[in-house]
Structure 1
Amino acid sequence: MAYLSSAEHLAHPQSEERRGQVGWIIVIVLFLLALVLFLAFPLETISVQPWVTAWQAQLRLALIQLGPFILVGLLGAVVGFSEIVATFANYPREALRTRWAQFLVLVNLTAAALAFWIARTYAPSADLVMTIIGVGLGFQALIRTRFIIAKEFSGKGSSDISLNLGWLYDQFQNLCKNQIDLELMKGRRTAVTRLLERFPKIGDLKDIAAYTIVSRATLTTDEEKAKLAELDTLFNPNAPANFAKTSMALMILENGGQAYVDLLLSESTPTPSKPTPESIAKQLVEKYTLSDLVALATRLLTSENEQNWIKDAAKTAQGAPEASQKGTIALFLIQRAGTETVLREIL
């Protein structure tokens, strides 16, 4: 199928890129382990070249001097990760994989180290541990501080020369988050398109979206009700069909995540064979009279517009075959209520 070839085409570059990232992580971890072992090993107790011992001593001294900056930078990176995850709560992993997200984390790391240098410059006698923790977790507040370089002689402050790094930092953050969102747009559109190709019927999309929402463990009762109400609003005969289906597919993606969508679209995922809408409609036509079918459809479809449509369809011009009327109503009922709901009534 078309969507499978598209999915395979998109999956290979992503998997290769992911393998490359994992490879770099392994190399960095091994390098850090080797460095730690080199610094911790007592070279003075064994016979080695003097320059090796001197190099180890210099590295230890540099680590002592740079250690606080490294710790603060790591805390700043954690804050950057948290900001991205909080901003893109529906796509945290995908957002963190973007280049702009990695750039934002790197800038946060650097900004935290810079803020620590400023803090130590202004308060060199402050407790080192508390300064590391305070600056590492609250460097954004510190970097938004307005630093006065030259004060107006009159003391009014209207013409003070100051350095406002906070404004630049906020602008940079907004730029990064906008670029991350734009990068994610491509992935969202691709996933929605594949869902629409895999599940072209609005009833199937509604069933999957409802199951996805109900299955979420972190949603509160109010959030779940709000999402289900939004889903019911889309499943409306007055809503444009394409817009409704696209919105439902996006709802599945946002509530289930990319991995869940990949599972739904996976070729290896067993898809149970279901009766077609035409076969279900045939059973309805054979089992129910026109009045009974109208009563069934009116009971299952609570929307006033849908009920009025059914009643109008049952009042077709005189001479029209009853089977044709029942077939039209049956297909409309299946489309709006979903195949599973109708099957439960038949079986």
Structure 2
Amino acid sequence: MPDQIRTAVVGAGYFGRFHANHYARNPRAKLVAVVDTDEARAHAVGTEFGAEPLTDFRSLIGRVDAVSVAPPTPLHYDIARELVEAGIHVLVEKPLTDSFATASALTKLAEERGRVLQVGHIERYSSAYRTLAEAIVGPLYFESYRIAPWKNRGVEVDVILDLMIHDIDMIIGLVNSRVDSVDAVGTPVLGSKVDIANARITFESGCVANVTASRVSYKTERRMRVFARNHYLNCDLGEGRIFGYRLRGDPMTEGLAAISTETYEIPKQDSLANEIDAFLDCIATGSKPLVDGHAGAEALRVASMINDSIEEHLRKVQAAPDARSAG
């Protein structure tokens, strides 16, 4: 491996531009090219960060060691598969692909070829997630809310793959147990795919998570509450603040003195910079990514369970008689 890892970005849209920026700034990487089927966009981002603009990702083969794959989700699998087959390490923006089957196939291929496959679940590389992972012991119940106003970006997939999958992946990582069952509701509102959803996720450990995601809210909010025996944490992921309560004694005899308040200082960090630096480190050292293909595929398995439950619920709603016409 050369002193600098030769890198490129496929997909010069909103997230792809950020990836290009971080490769250009990271001393361990050399940004060789930016690829987009829109020639003008490839040229604009490539020029901004001193990289060659290209319109065909296959032009990267033989010229780079590692690539961030950041086009629309339905294109992830085909692009990443060809790059891995060519011996290139890949960091694929979340979700890994648009189905559990293709995610599993890509994971198997990367392992067979000995290539790093990392998934861009950016929340796992945040200082807030690291703090939660260190603080939480034996979680019993999660509540998470990830809501945002409507945007045209990301609507080629439903809100589960667009927004909720962040929290699915985070909670799976924090619980460290396989998901057993899901009960979910949701509906399209402004687009053709589900725009708001709520899922109750039960793990084999007995932990339960109530997860809500919406892209038709009037505000942006990313919050997570965690309940464990004798411990409660409230995390504002948007603001990077965590506070909570911990039982230190017997509240029946000591009252409020038995309950201590905790505030966690969350260092200000660039989560994407952490994610890309971790990717480069895995390539250089051969270590396993924090969010590898198996983790990305498991998040998609649970997302699929949620979608199946929503579809079943919608069928029941559509089949039910209209209450307005009854009686």
TM-score normalised according to structure 2 size = 0.24
Q: Larger radius of gyration, structure 1 or 2? A: 1
Greater fraction of residues in helix: 1
TM-score normalised according to structure 1 size = 0.23
Greater fraction of residues in strand: 2
